[in-house]
């Protein structure tokens, strides 16, 4: 199983300054939902075991990370830092997948940011593929049929 560590997730419905920037109606997922979304995204790359972390940070922290790691001096919604993603590895073996950093204030949809970040961790790249990553993202976020 993919272990999902969650750091800094504000409580859903909490009245805090960070939430003010999110689009109207944007809601924070529960820890259970965060784990479900992350595992679903990892499963798309046939990763059945390992560890990843999802950290929720403020705009100053994500801007600093974006500047240090991408040379972009601005806040963004999500950053991914893969660890074992670049090397071929048996997908059944536990691995350190990496870290996703999310700034909820910058997200239109926090659920989408979770999936997007984890897909990047496991090797998807919408900048060079032919739409596979975004199609996979949409499929994961699709509400279950009733």
Per domain, the residue ranges of the chain are 2-11+25-141
Give me the pLDDT at residue 9, please.
Answer: 92
Instruction: State the Cα–Cα distance between residues 125 and 89, nearest whole angstrom.
Output: 18
Give backbone dihedrals phi and psi of 78, rounded to 5 degrees, phi first.
-150, 140
Contact 133, 118 (CB under 8 A): no
Banded model confidence at residue 128, pLDDT cuts 50, 70, 90: confident
pTM of the complete model = 0.84
Give me the pLDDT at residue 108, please.
Answer: 94
Give backbone dihedrals phi and psi of 98, rounded to 5 degrees, phi first.
145, -165
Banded model confidence at residue 95, pLDDT cuts 50, 70, 90: confident
Per-state percent for the chain, helix, strand, coil, to nearest 5:
40, 15, 45
Bridge partner list, 2:
50
Give 3-57 pLDDT, tens digit per residue. Answer: 999 999 987 655 444 444 544 445 899 999 999 999 999 999 888 889 999 999 9
Contacts 24+ apart (CB under 8 A), 25-32: 26/104, 26/107, 26/108, 26/109, 26/110, 27/110, 28/104, 28/110, 29/110, 29/111, 29/114, 31/6
Q: For residue 47, what are its two tokens?
A: 């990763």
Give me the pLDDT at residue 92, please.
Answer: 62
Share of the chain above pLDDT 70, in %: 81
Give me the pLDDT at residue 27, please.
Answer: 80
CATH topology of domain 2-11+25-141: Collagenase (Catalytic Domain) (3.40.390)
């Amino acid at each position: 199983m993919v272990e999902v560590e969650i750091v800094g997730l504000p409580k859903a419905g909490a009245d805090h300054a960070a939430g003010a920037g999110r689009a109207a109606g944007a809601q924070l997922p529960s820890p259970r939902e965060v784990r479900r979304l992350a595992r679903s995204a990892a499963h798309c790359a046939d990763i059945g075991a390992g560890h990843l972390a999802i950290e929720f940070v403020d705009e100053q922290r994500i801007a600093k990370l974006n500047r240090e790691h991408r040379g972009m001096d601005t806040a963004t919604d999500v950053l991914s830092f893969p660890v074992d993603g670049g090397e071929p590895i048996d997908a059944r073996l536990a691995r350190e997948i990496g870290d996703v950093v999310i700034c909820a204030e910058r997200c239109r949809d926090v659920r989408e940011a979770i999936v997007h970040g984890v897909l990047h961790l496991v090797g998807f790249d919408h900048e060079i593929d032919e739409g596979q990553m975004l199609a996979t993202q949409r499929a994961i976020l699709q509400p279950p049929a009733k």
